[in-house]
Amino acid sequence: MKATPSFLSHRLQTCFTLHLLPLCLLIILSISISACSIGDKIDRVADTVSDVTGDTVTALDGAIDALDRNSSAWQSVLQQTTDKLTADAQSTIRNEISDLLNRSVAATGTELRCNMDFIGSRVRQALVRIRARLLHQEVPPVEPALCHVVPAAVDMALDTSRRNKLEFFGYDFDTTPIKVTLKEKSHTSNVSSYLDRPTHYHMTLNLGANGVPVSSDSDRLTLEWQDRVISSIAIIQPATPICREKTETYSRSTFVTYNPPHTRGDKEFSGHGPEVWATARWINEGTHVNVRLWMKAKETRSDWTTAEGEHIVSYYTAPSGWRIDSIQGNMESSAHYIDTDHNEDPQGGGPNGPVKEFKFRGDYDGDDAGSYTGMDVYFNPLVVKLVEVANCAPASAVKSLEIKGFIAPQTIKRMQPMMLRLQRQ
């Protein structure tokens, strides 16, 4: 076999792209030692590169599958994945998984106020991004997640020393720009320069003398990501009223169909399953609710044919003048089973959570993954708590301030009649 310059260049480029420096050096050494058999030597080295990449992808697939089954086991899954990676595996991949483990463990303190399933879901998303980079696929964006704000509002009647900062707890605060705006009666200003990130799961906003210039004209502070509000914090002034609140139920009679794309294997399950996982999760976007659908169908043997993907559907829009404070009930529905025939299979769902019923299509005659394999999703009614969009303070925020001691006695005294009146409505 003759090794042409373009052929050699391609092999070397592949090697360096995969960050396998020892193997790259071996290719170069092979070139210098024996020109007559260089093609065979490069083939053997390139095969090793392919094997290492394949083993790494297999380890990542196994970890993602394990988290699909039990997201709360993320710590043991990450440790086992690190142990499974061979000595030849890319050092960058091993380091990323090790960093992910340390990063996630650090975020489990009591101050985080996010549950273990939430962290497991974030770990799974990180592993999917690592795999996508390794395979030169499109890498999903990293969206910051906010779990808790302390205090829930800012009472200007408090002494300045007791309202000198806001704290935000969540996940992935360090991966993307987050904008903070101060809304006042006459204008809105960008105050992001006063935001500090001690860790990826903790941010603080300076409200002190050298911080955000809150004043008697200030109405609220907002956190924004990619032009979307992810948190709104009321600034309580002497005349700030309690926001009106109401509950609304929305039902959709139609179902949503989703067929995930083919991602692995020959597209045909050939009677080997597939094993199927699916989730549907409500996503509160402030002015509207989306539903995030995810499905994975994986062959149980052979070349592990797989269809997997995510689809976001716009589901509900709040009426003008109102924002969605929260979604009532369970936020997520899931299903997991192994297909054993060519029939449609009703699975999962129930009265709680977004989904009343999943109806799956797994194996059939001919190609499956990317074409036939998919699901129809039937929904339960969506129940949302709406809060008035105005210069007001939500009752839930005021109650939180009272419990934590972040509100002045005179403010509570002034607001109590309004809160009682709203409760009776």
pLDDT at 41: 42
Residue 122 in contact with residue 77, Cβ under 8 Å? no
Rounded distance, CA 421 to CA 424, Å? 5
Contact 182, 214 (CB under 8 A): yes
pLDDT class of 373 with cuts at 50, 70, 90: very high
Cα–chain center distance at 417: 40
Q: pLDDT category, 357, cuts 50, 70, 90? A: very high
Contacts of 217 (CB under 8 A, 6+ apart): 184, 185, 186
More confident call, 355 vs 76: 355
Give long-range contacts, CB 8 A cutoff, 24+ apart: 48-51: 48/23, 48/88, 49/14, 49/15, 49/18, 49/20, 49/23
Tens-digit pLDDT profile for residues 285-344: 888 999 999 999 999 988 899 999 889 999 999 999 999 988 998 888 999 999 999 999
**Is beta strand 154-155 parallel, antiparallel or unpaired with respect to 228-236?**
parallel
In the chain, what are the domain boundaries?
A: 5-134, 145-242+390-424, 247-385
Kind plus residue range of the DSSP H or E element containing 277: strand 275-284
The DSSP bridge pattern shows strands 288-298 and 275-284 to be antiparallel
- Would you call the peptide bond into 151 cis, given omega within 30 degrees of 0 as the criterion? yes
Q: Is the peptide bond between 22 and the residue preceding it cis, with omega within 30 degrees of 0?
A: no
Q: Average pLDDT of the chain?
A: 83
Binned at pLDDT 50, 70 and 90, residue 113 comes out as low
**CA 221 to mean position of chain CA atoms:** 24
Q: Which residue has the higher pLDDT, 173 or 28?
A: 173
Residue 348 CA, distance from chain mean position: 22
For CA atoms 172, 173, 176, 181, give the dihedral sign.
positive
CATH fold of 145-242+390-424, please? Immunoglobulin-like (2.60.40)
Residues in Cβ contact with 126 at an 8 Å cutoff, skipping those fewer than 6 apart? 100
Identify whether the C-beta of residue 245 lies closer than 8 Å to the C-beta of residue 322: no
Report how far residue 78's alpha carbon sits from residue 193's, in angstroms, rounded to the nearest whole number. 35
Query: pLDDT band at 347, cuts 50/70/90?
Result: very high
Instruction: Give me the residue label for tokens 């054993």.
Output: 340
CA 355/CA 378 separation, integer angstroms: 6
> Which residues on neighbouring strands pair with residue 345, listed in sequence order?
360
- pTM of the complete model: 0.68
Mean pLDDT within 137-152: 84
Q: What's the whole-number mean pLDDT along residues 121-126?
A: 83
The pLDDT tens digits of the residues spanning 53-64 come to 677 888 888 888
For 350-397, give the DSSP string. Answer: -SSSSEEEEEEE---SS--TTTT-EEEEEEPPEEEEEEE-SS-B-HHH
